[in-house]
Amino acid sequence: MRVIGEDEIVSIEGGGKEEKMLVSVRLRPLNSMEIARNEFSDWECISNTTIIYRNSGADRSVMPSTYTVDRVFGCECTTMQVYEEAAKEVVLSVVHGVNSSVFAYGQTSSGKTYTMNGITECSVADIYDYIERHEEREFVLKFSAIEIYNETVRDLLGTDIIPLRVRDDPERGTIVEKLREETVRDEDHLKTLLSFCQAQRKIGETCLNEMSSRSHQILRLTIESCVRRFSGKDSFSSLSASVNFIDLAGSERLSHALSDGTRLKEGCHINRSLLTLGTVIRKLSKGRNGHIPYRDSKLTRILQSSLRGNARTAIICTISPAQSHIEQSKNTLLFATRAREVVTSAHVNAVMSDKDLVKYLQKKLAKLETELRHPTSASSTSHSEALQERDARIRKMEKEMKELIQQRDLAQSRLEDLLRVVWDDQVSRDWDELSQLSASSELNAYEDVLLTSDTSLDSLFRGDKCIEPQLQLSNTQKEGYATLPRNSSVSPMSKTSLVSHQGTEGAEQDSYSDFEDLCKEVQCIEMEESKTSVKKEFDPSLTNNDHQEHGSKDSKLNTDMSLTTNDNSNAVSTILLVKEEEIKNGRTNGTAIRIYTDELPPLTFEDGASYRTLALSKSRSCRATVMTSHHLKDSPSPRRPQGIALESNPGQIVPAYVLKKPNEKSVSEDNITSICEFVTELKELAQTHYQIETSCSQELEQGKDFGIVRSVKDVGLDPMTNWLMEFEKRQQEIIELWHACNVSLIHRTYFLLLFKGDPADSVYMEVEHRRLLFLKDTFSSSMRNLRREREMLCRQMQKMLSTIERDRLYLKWGIELYSKKRRMQLVKLLWSETKDMEHVRESASLVAKLIGLLQPEHALKEMFGLCFTPQLMNKRSYSCRNGLYSIK
């Protein structure tokens, strides 16, 4: 057993000390496989700190290169030597209350596990040696271990393979939830735990290494110590720190490793997380400013404090001497030289004992009391200055708060107004298109008869969305019913409400495709799912129960009348039939009837009631509404589309029209009420969140003043935490719905980057969530826009990224460098794994980069309250719609 001298141990007392990472390189000897392939080594350690590549091979295109790090170990060096010079000092900081980490980094089969196993063994021996020699202190050792395999975290001390969640704790930083921590009894116990973890770790055979580690392994030993007897000195007597032994999985050229199936997938995950580690190190090496993407992988997230924060860090980079691995070795050395520039700031983690704490507080109290009783001029001046400063801060905060409230109110009222205006506008435009289309087509196409009543409107259209035509009464027919025969003189206005299917098929298609977009955009248009459901709606033989299914409980006309039609006829006119007596009574019961007009059959209604033809005219006062929570939750088929399907194309829809009697409150007006209710509901929601947040921060503030901060949490009142949990849950649901609804990737990116968990975002989250629920259940997903967007992103990739950047991306996303359609392969991967938040964030950041969205926070959040998907546009502006336009 070696004895460590006191002077050997680095003592860092007091505040944080900035220092660079300790970086060394270890070159392993050629292994038997390499020797069998007649490989040779061109690496030479020319000094303790410099390694050089001489390139004596046939290919002289690669120039010799020199790399300098803190320490270089040639193939003749033992692991003990490596430990003594490259790790020991850092590792043993832990017994002095300073966190530390030792990494092994390098390509697969370069000797990481070989080196780390030795270093862990030596460290354990030295730590126990130190403990034995310091009897005046009492030590408690705790051990935990994880592996990160395919981006899932697993407890190596357990035999189950349940993935563990990584979470950010406000006090402890990034933590792994439910991770086991064993209290170590003695050195032998620790060794047993280490071998258990080793056996648990994922190992697999690859072409380059029979026993390749397929996961990143992090072993953590926490050492708490305190003096056995209180010394009486006014100093910290308890220390607590952790040392991490990190054996990373090895990077691999997938082509070299000849991986497939599971190994290939593992390789992709390994490369991706190592690339993130490389990026983090590169950014840190340039200074601490700017965004460091720790959250891009679980590895960097968990190691965040070791890479930047309160820890001393040593990195041992291992390389293979073989000529065939030259490229990977050079990458490793590049990583090493960058890591040398990274600075961490370690400090002693001292824990005050209760006795010390009481003494400290008593002293402080006495000092404050003295100051209060005998205020010196200096102290009173500083008090008044502090008060003034505080007042100024409060005033500033009040001002900011007012501005924020104003902004929020403005956004909400805009949401309210624009929902109406946008809808009015768009439906009018669309209606114009439909009118033209309708006017240009022959009216001898079949037309649908829609006879409906105010009482059944709510059920027929689910009370959600409707357009408000004016009702005109005309031609009372002798027999008591009215028809609109072919070529009859229908006023142009009434024609606009009829839809023809004959001729102008191309225009029709275009119109319908735009129309489909329009319908997706606002939830105001009802649709019918299929021809069969239309028939059901029109079929006079339906029973009352059938109609009740559609909510038409009072549809007496349907059941009472019998209708004779010529089924072979292909020409149908649309008329509106309303019982005359019901109109007189101020109420109408009715249904839609299809009438064939080639040979207009006599229509006989059993009840002999008289009916009138109602010509529909277009109303410009189209109104929009939004589905309320009532509709979502309580309705028996809450999001079932209603409306009229076109027989020639059942997938397409036409708007349903509502008959309105003068001076009668229309369903549209009801819908305006529901918009208001909805907006009010959202406002209330936002306000509740806002109040909770405010009261929470006030309570915490008061708690701080009175030393009761903990009590707020103890009783479980942590609204911020609740909100964040709620936010994450809702965000996950939205992400999945985006995927299901084929929502624009750019829209997703904007939304994700803008709404990051601020309580004021709740209103937008709620709107987005409801909108997507509606889209999902109502519309068959259209891939077309998404496909075009992907093509656009492919083009952007060519434009915005250099070849090197693209190659890095392919590597990161596991795409073969020389495979066909690499860009499209990559774009197709974006946003594909909805459950993996790291993947989602990476996708968003790449899309943002491709569309030049450098500062997403500058985008207006309010825009998400207004419109989410492409607006209805004419054909000429279509390409725009598939691009950035869709995020408006």
Ligand X SMILES: Nc1ncnc2c1ncn2[C@@H]1O[C@H](COP(=O)(O)OP(=O)(O)OP(=O)(O)O)[C@@H](O)[C@H]1O
The yes or no reply on residue 112 touching ligand X (CB under 6 A) is: yes
Could you say which residues in the range 196-215 bind ligand X, by CB under 6 A? 209, 211-213
- One residue of 111, 480, 643, 759 binding ligand X per CB under 6 A: 111
Q: Segment near ligand X (CB under 6 A), from 102-110, 281-289, 296-304, 770-778?
A: 102-110
In the structure encoding, which two tokens stand for residue 569, read together? 């006829």
- Is there a contact between 611 and 582 (Cβ–Cβ < 8 Å)? no
The yes or no reply on residue 332 touching ligand X (CB under 6 A) is: no
- Is there a contact between 215 and 72 (Cβ–Cβ < 8 Å)? no
Please report how close the Cβ of residue 415 comes to ligand X at its closest, in angstroms: 54
Query: Quick one: 86 or 626, whose CB is closer to ligand X?
Result: 86
The yes or no reply on residue 885 touching ligand X (CB under 6 A) is: no
- Is there a contact between 574 and 597 (Cβ–Cβ < 8 Å)? no
Query: Quick one: 206 or 412, whose CB is closer to ligand X?
Result: 206
Q: Please, what's the b/e burial string for 786-808 (b: 16 or more CB within 10 A of its CB; e: otherwise)?
A: bebbbebbbebbeeebeeeebee
Please report how close the Cβ of residue 260 comes to ligand X at its closest, in angstroms: 16
Query: Does 113 show up as a binding residue in the annotation?
Result: yes
The yes or no reply on residue 109 touching ligand X (CB under 6 A) is: yes
Please report how close the Cβ of residue 65 comes to ligand X at its closest, in angstroms: 22
Query: Quick one: 109 or 674, whose CB is closer to ligand X?
Result: 109
Distance from C-alpha of 249 to C-alpha of 825, rounded to nearest angstrom: 26
Residue 68 belongs to what H/E stretch? strand 65-68
Region class of 744: left (phi > 0), else alpha (psi between -120 and 50), else beta = beta
- One residue of 2, 11, 13, 29 binding ligand X per CB under 6 A: 29
Distance from C-alpha of 765 to C-alpha of 793, rounded to nearest angstrom: 26
Comparing CA positions, the residue from 763, 737, 739, 768 lying closest to residue 751 is 768
Query: Quick one: 76 or 705, whose CB is closer to ligand X?
Result: 76
The yes or no reply on residue 110 touching ligand X (CB under 6 A) is: yes
- Is there a contact between 304 and 344 (Cβ–Cβ < 8 Å)? no
The yes or no reply on residue 106 touching ligand X (CB under 6 A) is: yes
Query: Does 778 show up as a binding residue in the annotation?
Result: no
The yes or no reply on residue 113 touching ligand X (CB under 6 A) is: yes
Query: Does 503 show up as a binding residue in the annotation?
Result: no
Please report how close the Cβ of residue 302 comes to ligand X at its closest, in angstroms: 19
The yes or no reply on residue 249 touching ligand X (CB under 6 A) is: yes
Query: Quick one: 106 or 551, whose CB is closer to ligand X?
Result: 106
Query: DSSP secondary structure string, 715-745?
Result: TT--HHHHHHHHHHHHHHHHHHHHHHTT--H
Query: Quick one: 179 or 248, whose CB is closer to ligand X?
Result: 248
Query: Does 574 show up as a binding residue in the annotation?
Result: no
Query: Does 552 show up as a binding residue in the annotation?
Result: no
Query: Quick one: 320 or 496, whose CB is closer to ligand X?
Result: 320
Comparing CA positions, the residue from 47, 94, 612, 23 lying closest to residue 315 is 23
Query: Quick one: 25 or 534, whose CB is closer to ligand X?
Result: 25
Residues 6+ apart with CB under 8 A from 306: 99, 101, 103, 244, 246, 313, 344
Query: Quick one: 29 or 651, whose CB is closer to ligand X?
Result: 29
The yes or no reply on residue 321 touching ligand X (CB under 6 A) is: no
Q: Segment near ligand X (CB under 6 A), from 101-109, 166-174, 521-529, 869-877?
A: 101-109
The yes or no reply on residue 108 touching ligand X (CB under 6 A) is: yes
- Provide the pairing of β-strand 100-106 with 312-319: parallel
Torsion of CA 536, 540, 541, 544, to 10 degrees: 80
In the structure encoding, which two tokens stand for residue 640, read together? 């079932």
Distance from C-alpha of 887 to C-alpha of 249, rounded to nearest angstrom: 40
Which residue type does 407 have?
Answer: Q
Q: Segment near ligand X (CB under 6 A), from 23-31, 356-364, 383-391, 873-881?
A: 23-31
- One residue of 250, 267, 469, 590 binding ligand X per CB under 6 A: 250
Query: Does 855 show up as a binding residue in the annotation?
Result: no
The yes or no reply on residue 339 touching ligand X (CB under 6 A) is: no
Distance from C-alpha of 480 to C-alpha of 482, rounded to nearest angstrom: 7
In the structure encoding, which two tokens stand for residue 494, read together? 């009434």
Query: Quick one: 322 or 534, whose CB is closer to ligand X?
Result: 322
- Provide the pairing of β-strand 22-27 with 71-73: parallel
Comparing CA positions, the residue from 438, 448, 447 lying closest to residue 537 is 448
Please report how close the Cβ of residue 823 comes to ligand X at its closest, in angstroms: 30
The yes or no reply on residue 258 touching ligand X (CB under 6 A) is: no
Which residue type does 528 have?
Answer: E
Which backbone phi and psi does 636 adopt, to 5 degrees?
A: -60, -40
The yes or no reply on residue 114 touching ligand X (CB under 6 A) is: yes
In the structure encoding, which two tokens stand for residue 832, read together? 């594909």
Please report how close the Cβ of residue 244 comes to ligand X at its closest, in angstroms: 17
Please report how close the Cβ of residue 80 comes to ligand X at its closest, in angstroms: 12
Residues that bind ligand X (CB under 6 A): 28-29, 31, 106, 108-114, 209, 211-213, 249-250, 318
Binding residues for ATP: 106-113
Binding residues: 106-113
